[in-house]
């Protein structure tokens, strides 16, 4: 099976990184406050603008931690499947070099030739796309598997991956 996996909030814990940025600016909402919405939508406008400015430098993407279980899951998936990491990095073009370095640091055995930067994920040719944003499944010819995140809590999507521990079972169900 050919699998495409999103980077931010699926492999890289961008949510925790953004929470640190907002906390440094004095905004520290609870998980309950953020269920079903993006941090920037809850933050004061001037803070959201400052965080957005920092994201556009690209440096933010260099220091993220991996999502728990992502490293082991990617290693297992690569042993059985054709795996690509697909990031809609065009929203933050300066992030690309930092995302490559991040992949090399946290997934040193992952072939960089299988790292895809795009704007529209419908261009991907894969059987499954694992992503935390359901809008990336629009126009995608394969099956969309929504990776659970605070911002997509309550989003009605039939195929969901709650955490990386479930990926083998969920992919087995999809391929059956």
Give CA 28 to chain center in angstroms. Answer: 22
Q: Provide φ and ψ at 10, rounded to 5°.
A: -120, -50
Is 82 assigned a catalytic role?
no
Active-site residue, from 8, 63, 72, 166: 8
Q: Give the residue among 140, 157, 137 at the shortest CA–CA distance from 148.
A: 157
As beta bridge partners, residue 143 has 128
H-only helix segments in the chain: 14-24, 31-34, 39-42, 45-57, 70-80, 96-106, 167-175
Is 13 assigned a catalytic role?
no
Nearby residues of 25 by Cβ (< 8 Å), 6 or more positions away: 47, 50, 51
Q: Which residues are catalytic?
A: 6, 8
């Amino acid at each position: 099976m050919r699998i495409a996996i999103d980077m931010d909030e699926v492999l890289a814990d961008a949510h925790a990184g953004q929470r640190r940025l907002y906390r440094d600016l004095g905004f520290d909402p609870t998980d309950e406050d953020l269920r079903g919405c993006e941090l920037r939508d809850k933050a004061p406008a001037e803070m959201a603008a400052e965080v957005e400015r920092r994201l556009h430098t690209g440096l933010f993407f260099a220091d993220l931690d991996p999502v728990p279980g992502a490293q082991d899951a990617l290693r297992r998936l690569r042993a059985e499947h054709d795996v690509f990491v697909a990031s809609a990095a065009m929203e933050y073009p300066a992030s690309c070099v930092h995302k490559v370095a991040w992949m090399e640091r946290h997934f040193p055995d992952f072939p960089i030739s299988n790292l895809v930067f795009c704007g529209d994920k419908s261009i991907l040719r894969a059987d499954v796309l694992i992503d935390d944003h359901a809008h990336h499944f629009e126009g995608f010819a394969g099956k969309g598997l929504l990776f659970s995140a605070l911002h997509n809590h309550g989003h009605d999507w039939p195929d969901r991956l709650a955490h990386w521990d479930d990926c083998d079972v969920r992919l087995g169900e999809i391929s059956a």
